[in-house]
Amino acid sequence: MTIQTLLFIFFALLISVALATYQYAYKTKLTIQAKWVYGSLRFITFFSILILLINPKFKTHNYFLVKPNLPILIDNSESINHFNYAKMVTEFVTSIKVNKALNDKFDIHYYTFGNEFKLLDSLTFNEKNTNIYNALNLTNSVYNHEVAPTLLITDGNQTLGSDYKYIASQYRNAIYPIIVGDSIRHSDLKITSVLTNRYSFLNNQFPVELTVAYEGLLPVKTNLEITRGRTVVHRKNINFSEDNSTKIIAFTLPSEEVGLQKYSVQIAPLNNEKNIQNNRKEFAIEVIDESTDIFLVSDIKHPDMGVLKKSIETNEQRIVTVYKPKEALRNIEDVQLIILFQPNNSFSELLQEIKILNKNTFTFTGLQTDWNFLNKNQSNFSKEVTNQTELVGGELNPNFDYFFLEDLGFSNFRPLKTQFGDLTILNKNEVIFDQYINGYRSESPLLAVIESNLQREAIWDAEGLWKWRAQSFLETKNHKSFDNFMGALIQYLVTNKKRSRLEIDFKNIYYNNNSIKISAQYFDKNFVFNPNTTITIVAINLDTKEQFTSSLILKRNYYEVDLSTLNAGDYSFSVTLEEDVKLTRTGSFTVFDYNIEQQFLNADVTKLSKLATNTSGNISFLSEAAQILENLVDDESFKPIQKKSEKIKPLIEFKYILILLIISLSLEWFIRKYNGLT
């Protein structure tokens, strides 16, 4: 309480005495006894009111003891079950709960970790991943400013997250790892990784890279096999030793059938090998039929036509057929791309049919192109020409980002010929080659792609393409670079993906140790996302015919369903909009049975030992963990801390002042009335 407040109280006391004296002792006919009674009650009333207005504040202090914290982090992953230690871990946790000395000394908090870090509810040992780093990092953030030695009950094998050995430098408290598992080193072979592409084209080769590891002291020999169904597609003998314990095996496999192709990798186990779960892995690849029919339509003969056909057909999945305009009309419905080479008046019917069927085109113009005809019969580009010719060069546009194109040094290639005039693109377009004349950039493109009404088109406004392919060969000693460039351009033009109002996103391959999620987006007729609908998925196991049905949950701007409970197998599914059953999308996927928690043979004693040493803790095996508990109880560095809490309470919160005020007023009123005073 400040001096100022004390002065206010003193003045309040004087004022209360003065007012009470004036009212009951000055010019009154009351008896002395009555004056004292009435004056005292009135004094109490005035002083109570004034003291409440001043409202002085009082400080109170409370002293109490705070026990040190003891967070206990328990590995709840499947590897604990795999090592057959689930019962021992459960019994050890129970022994901690009933340890009176430990509970008297520490404020104990129980947590479990696997995929996620959370408060202990129950120990199931069914988490499919282990994230030790996340558990320690979150514990450190909670107890960073407190005394909190940490018990870490785990086998030390992490399958998810950052390497936990790096947490030691920032962890404030000591960590006491309780090792769950065997420290004996057993001989073991395992496939640690399988790397391959997700897709491959039919009749191509796709790469596979395997990493195979060996743990043991003696040299061993084993056999590696890759099978598809019952067919062995690759076999290799491998030798290992203590010094040569890891092999990276790379090879290619043929893509012979369209669709999802499943493969199994298996390495023959050693005699009496303890863990053979990690000797086998499965992978799959989706083989796509990229076969493409392309028409090359021309009314003239030109060396560029031969170059185009050869360049495009270096991809064996593409067939280029040369037609006259009239001939092309017969089979136009099934073709993916039509190359219009130097169109003239004979292309009239063909252009009309292309408009009707919405076909993609690649137009090559040159000295024999009828631009008057082209300007009248299509609306994507136009050019006002004269009878003069012009030599032009091209430079790759660095800002072009529709797809990747390698710059082969086109700006240094020999110039091409075109008709003099400015080419104008009339629809949405992206320039691939800027046109250069005598080293100066013109306003016209040399090569551009155009998109309109879900149709893709390209225009190359020059002839002499054979010169560029020949120059590329002279510089690189092969045609591969130029043909890859042309192949990328053709791939873009033969693709014509139409946008659907119901789009789904999923993978063809899932592993059951990870989330199996399928998402969808639904758009209204203006292609604006609609968050107010119900989307349902039905997934069917193709082997057991078991059916799983669920609604997709809205997540901001998409809908999603988690199918992680599905067993391994092949599934087909359909995603349906409840209000419109006609708006349905279907697909299929495969779930592989892969348990990463069963890939380990021993506890990671080395890493856990370093973690304990670097945080000034001690390590112990589960069978000897009772000693760690005794050491924690006996450790004098973990003592309860006496803390003081200070509370400031204003006088107005004391109800007794208000009660006293009410009593004084009531008594004064009653006594005055009793004595007949007004």
295-338 pLDDT, tens digit each: 999 999 999 999 999 999 998 888 999 999 999 988 888 788 99
Better pLDDT: 202 or 363: 363
Cα angle 669, 671, 673; round to 5: 65
Same domain, 89 and 202: no
**End of a domain among 494, 517, 542?**
494
Smallest CA-to-CA distance from 308 within 318, 299, 296, 293 is with: 296
Q: What is the pLDDT of residue 544?
A: 92
pTM of the predicted structure, to 2 decimals? 0.54
Q: What is the pLDDT of residue 449?
A: 93
Structural domain total, the chain:
5
Same domain, 337 and 457: yes
Q: How far apart are CA 156 and CA 182, in angstroms?
A: 11
Helix, strand, coil share of the chain (percent; to 5): 30, 35, 30
Pairing of strands 246-254, 569-577: unpaired
Same domain, 113 and 165: yes
**End of a domain among 246, 271, 288?**
288
Same domain, 628 and 565: no
The CATH code of the domain that includes 104 is 3.40.50.410
Q: What does the mean pLDDT of the chain come to? A: 88
The CATH code of the domain that includes 465 is 3.40.50.880
The CATH code of the domain that includes 561 is 2.60.40.10
Q: Are 331 and 291 in contact (CB under 8 A)?
A: no
**Distance (Å) of CA 565 to CA 513, 562, 623, 670:** 10, 8, 35, 80
**Full domain range(s) for residue 37:** 3-62+647-674
Same domain, 658 and 611: no
Same domain, 479 and 565: no
**Is residue 418 very low, low, confident or very high in pLDDT (cuts 50, 70, 90)?**
very high
- Count of CB atoms situated within 10 Å of the CB of 446: 24
- Read out DSSP for 188-255? EEEEEEEEE-SEEETT-EEEEEEEEEEE-SS-EEEEEEEEETTEEEEEEEEEE-SSS-EEEEEEEEE-
Same domain, 316 and 462: yes
Burial class (CB in 10 A: 0-12, 13-18, 19+), 313: middle
Same domain, 279 and 424: no
572-611 pLDDT, tens digit each: 999 998 776 678 899 999 998 777 777 776 788 989 999 9
Smallest CA-to-CA distance from 105 within 149, 67, 70, 63 is with: 67
Smallest CA-to-CA distance from 320 within 300, 342, 298 is with: 298
- Per DSSP, the three-state class of 495 is coil
Same domain, 356 and 484: yes
- Measured between alpha carbons, how far apart are the two ends of the chain, in Å? 41
Same domain, 461 and 519: no
Report the share of the chain in percent with pLDDT over 70. Answer: 97
Same domain, 18 and 49: yes
**End of a domain among 568, 596, 624?**
596
Same domain, 513 and 619: no
Q: How far apart are CA 441 and CA 435, in angstroms?
A: 6
Better pLDDT: 135 or 37: 135
Q: What is the pLDDT of residue 167?
A: 92
